[in-house]
Amino acid sequence: MKPMRVPLRILSLALLTSTILPSLNTLIAQQSAKAKTGSSAQAGELSQQLNAEAQADLRSGNFGEAETALVKLSTLNPRVAEIHANLGAVLFQEGRIRAAADSLREALRLKPTLTKSKTLLAICMAELGESKQALPGLDSCFHGTVDVEWKRRCGLELLRVYSAMHRDAQAVTTALALNNAYPDDGEILYQTGRIYGNFAFLTMETLRDKEPNSIWMLQASAEAAESQNNYDDAIGRYDAVLRVEPRRPGVHYRMGRVYLARFEGARDAKDRLLAAEQFRAELEIDPDNGNAAYELAQIQHDLGNPEQAQRYFETVIVARPEFEQALVGLAGVLLESRKPELAVPRLKRAIAIDPNDEVAWYRLARAFRMVDDPEGQKKAMAEFQRLHQLQSGKQARSGVLSPAGEVTPQQLGPND
């Protein structure tokens, strides 16, 4: 797995001026009070002045001016660890990572208990490519701190470090923890997605190298072709799998999905019939494959065979009562058969499973209208409209198949 470059993310001003390091006012005042000579007293007064300037510059975000004041302060007070730590933090903000690391090391040499400086030094080392040295500090921060911003930054740096050290399993574990802690963070979603993708790629490379002629490699290559919409290639590769192992579970189902995808593109009726053949073949091998039965039910519905569609949908639901899409599909058939009183309980159960299914809400509104329940119809339609607006910025579902391994979603069609 290639090292991941985390773009330099400036830490917040609040963290820099308060959370990372304490104010130097007390320390400098104490040193000034101990001064016995005139020159020492003057140095103390100058230090207080410089500290005030540095703090003001930090609050206003003038890091260059703050750096100048802190450099002078460190010359006047070379053994005050907090000055070096503050200087290191400012240098980090300016993107001068190596200089920041030097200042932070000096601060920790003078006072090893500066915890935030240890963390910032670990981040600097990660930025400089010193992965092995950075790892302990980053790991301690990520698993030990309660501060969400520090935890976030340390987690991102850990992804880089583990990737650089080829410790791919730890990178994936950290990525999962980051997704759990920051589920809506765009940068984290992007970086962890790359980690998962790289890990999957490396795993498939290992499979190719270790067992290039295995049935697993054949199936992996077929799924890769399917994911790239190379339908003819995918069908040929799935067929090659079946020549090696004719009764291998799941392969006929995947071939059926490929035929359906090709039908969606070219609208050749023959492809839909070939898909149905594959789903039936799958059920002969694995009668409990609810996905195959569901797809057959939907095909029968689309072909205008409501009784057969209802029979398949009901078979699926008996075996898998929580199959939400099958409940919505069965309800659609019942509505078309003018049986709204039977559709309502199926739709309520589907919505309990997935409250965000807009098709279920629309069909429930339709069912309530048919059973003369205007209040129920109004509420269901309002929820449908709310969900539909949320979906308006996304790709229309019509004609789009779900990801590999799932099923064709229910859609609003002419009968709705």
Domain 13-161: which topology?
1.25.40
How far is 144 from 155, CA to CA, in rounded Å? 11
pLDDT band at 33 (very low <50, low <70, confident <90, very high): low
Q: What is the mean pLDDT of the chain?
A: 85
DSSP 8-state assignment for residue 21: S
pLDDT given at position 403: 40
What is the gyration radius of the CA atoms in the chain, in angstroms? Answer: 32
3-state SS string over 152-182?
HHHHHHHHHHHHHCCCHHHHHHHHHHHHHHC
**In CATH, what number does 323-416 get?**
1.25.40.10
In this chain, the answer to whether the domains covering 13-161 and 323-416 adopt an identical fold is yes
pLDDT greater than 50 at residue 415: yes
How far is 60 from 41, CA to CA, in rounded Å? 29
> What's the pLDDT tens digit per position in 164-207?
998 999 999 999 999 999 999 999 999 999 899 888 888 888 88
Nearest CA-CA partner of 387 in 368, 371, 364: 364
> What's the pLDDT tens digit per position in 56-97?
767 767 778 888 888 888 887 888 888 898 899 889 988 899
> What's the pLDDT tens digit per position in 125-145?
998 989 999 999 999 999 998
> What's the pLDDT tens digit per position in 142-170?
999 888 889 999 999 999 999 999 899 99
CB–CB of 330/346 below 8 Å?
Answer: yes
What does pTM read for this prediction?
0.64
User: Which tokens is 139 given?
Assistant: 């790991």
pLDDT given at position 26: 59
Q: Cα–Cα distances in Å, from 290 out to 9, 128, 149, 359?
A: 48, 53, 45, 21
User: Which tokens is 199 given?
Assistant: 């890990």
- Opening angle at CA 155, ends 62 and 118, nearest 5: 60
> What's the pLDDT tens digit per position in 295-335?
999 999 999 999 999 999 999 999 999 999 999 999 999 99
Nearest CA-CA partner of 363 in 411, 398, 409: 411
Least reliable range by pLDDT among 17-26, 80-89, 282-291: 17-26
User: Which tokens is 35 given?
Assistant: 């001064």
Nearest CA-CA partner of 200 in 175, 179, 180: 175
pLDDT given at position 86: 87
Nearest CA-CA partner of 253 in 220, 228, 289: 289
* All structural domains of the chain with their residue ranges: 13-161, 323-416
CB–CB of 94/11 below 8 Å?
Answer: no
